[in-house]
Amino acid sequence: MIWEDEGFILSKRKFRENAIILEVFTNQFGKVNGIVYGGTSRKVKNYLQIGNKIFIIHNSKNQNKLGYLKTEIIEAISPRYFSDKKRSFLILSIAELLNSLLPDEEIYKNIYLSINNLIKNLENKSWPIIYSFWELNLIKELGYGFKTEKTNSMKDIVSLNIDNVLYKVPKFIINKEIPQNFSKEIIYQGLSFTRNLLLNKFYLPNNLFLPRSRVVFENCFI
């Protein structure tokens, strides 16, 4: 079976002397794994970085066996932020969340489009707020959306009951609006809310830990 697509690199691990197994979240085929021969060479490994967007050609003789990937770089996203701790851990957080939450070969086009949108907004001053909305969209796409009514509360943080659990939620999330002015505390509260949702809906029921990169990213705003 041969197909081609684009996608974001989620993880990689060594496979034999000169090859790696690459995990990619693709637009049309979901999360896939494949062997990249020559993936340990300096030329190739320099662009096979977690978070980068690549073009792949997938070739597999048997649907039940690991296929082979040929790769080309589309957009080198990770190198832009090597010296930016917050954005670097955001990229790692995206990759590790998708790696741990998405089943293999299930198509999630809305999630894929939302990653493209998030990456385009990483230079926007509101990028941490946009990331909170990205996580909310991820949770919704995986089956745990919730409805809210706009609030006129003067408080920045309000209480919200979701499935009989009381959460502290920033008002900007309730109103689905990106505030013009916001503090590190508000960013942290937004990330704290989505973190608790992720834990309660996905990780704790399956005896899993939240990815370390997601924890570090949130702690950048304490």
* pLDDT tens digits along 86-110: 999 999 999 999 999 999 999 999 9
Question: Is the Cα dihedral 47, 119, 122, 138 positive or negative?
Answer: negative
132-151 pLDDT, tens per residue? Answer: 999 999 999 999 988 888 88
Q: Note the pLDDT of residue 64.
A: 65
Q: Note the pLDDT of residue 149.
A: 80
Superfamily classification of domain 80-219? Recombination protein O, C-terminal domain (1.20.1440.120)
- Write out the residue limits of the CATH 1.20.1440.120 domain(s) in the chain: 80-219
Pairing of strands 30-37, 67-75: parallel
- Write out the residue limits of the CATH 2.40.50.140 domain(s) in the chain: 2-76
Residues sharing a CB contact under 8 Å with residue 185, sequence separation 6 or more, in sequence order: 221
Q: Report the alpha-carbon distance of residue 119 to residue 111 in Å, rounded.
A: 12
Q: Report the alpha-carbon distance of residue 86 to residue 176 in Å, rounded.
A: 23
Pairing of strands 53-59, 2-15: antiparallel
Name which CATH class applies to 2-76: mainly beta
Q: What is the pTM of this model?
A: 0.94
